[in-house]
Amino acid sequence: MDVAIIIGSDSDWSVMKKAVAFLREFDISVEVTVASAHRTPDRVINFIRNCHAQDVKIFIAAAGMAAHLAGVVAANTTRPVIGVPINSEPFKGMDALLSTVQMPPGIPVATMAVNGAKNAAIFAAEILALQNDNLKNKLAKYRAEMAAEVERKAETVKLDFLKGAD
């Protein structure tokens, strides 16, 4: 197994399924579970142990509010942990962002943007690509397609601009 995703609640799934979609598109093996650092701390630890047994290479941990899930995952593995703060009321994800990104020295979490599920998957792919040329080529193609899309958008806006559209 390449990547394990831990979400703090099923309410995080609608955001995090975008990470799963990207990883599957790139043929990266992934599994997902719900485990909460504060509601089910033993479940988090047991899942991480099980992932180690399956040689999971990267963890992605996503939680909202001040749940500290990614930090707890990072405390229990030396494999890379990517954190995704989830947007929620009343602080719009700022609480989750700070609880994920502001890890004290010694136990790092690579923190993405609030709701940054897709970038978490891309970042995981980039780490795996260090030892996988096929994946490296796929990522290069993905970037080239994004660049081509910007060129198409630029052309569309330019044509509209020249027509004097408001």
User: How far apart, in whole angstroms, are the C-alpha atoms of residue 8 and residue 109?
Assistant: 16
Residue from 2, 9, 61, 125 in contact with ligand RP5 (CB under 6 A): 9
User: How far apart, in whole angstroms, are the C-alpha atoms of residue 107 and residue 74?
Assistant: 6
* Minimum distance from residue 29 beta carbon to ligand RP5 (Å): 24
- For ligand RP5 (CB under 6 A), the number of binding residues is 11
* Minimum distance from residue 66 beta carbon to ligand RP5 (Å): 9
Residue from 58, 61, 63, 122 in contact with ligand RP5 (CB under 6 A): 63
Interface stretch with ligand RP5, choices 7-15, 16-24, 43-51, 124-132 (CB under 6 A): 7-15
Residue from 18, 33, 36, 108 in contact with ligand RP5 (CB under 6 A): 36
Verify binding: residue 129, ligand RP5, rule CB under 6 A. no
Residue from 4, 5, 8, 71 in contact with ligand RP5 (CB under 6 A): 8
Computed from CA positions of residues 142, 148, 154, 155, in that sequence, does the dihedral angle turn out positive or negative?
negative
Please report how many Cα atoms fall inside a 13 Å half-sphere around the Cα of residue 42, on the Cβ side: 0
Q: Catalogue the long-range contacts made by 46-50 (C-beta closer than 8 Å, 24 or more residues apart).
A: 47/4, 47/6, 48/73, 48/76, 48/77
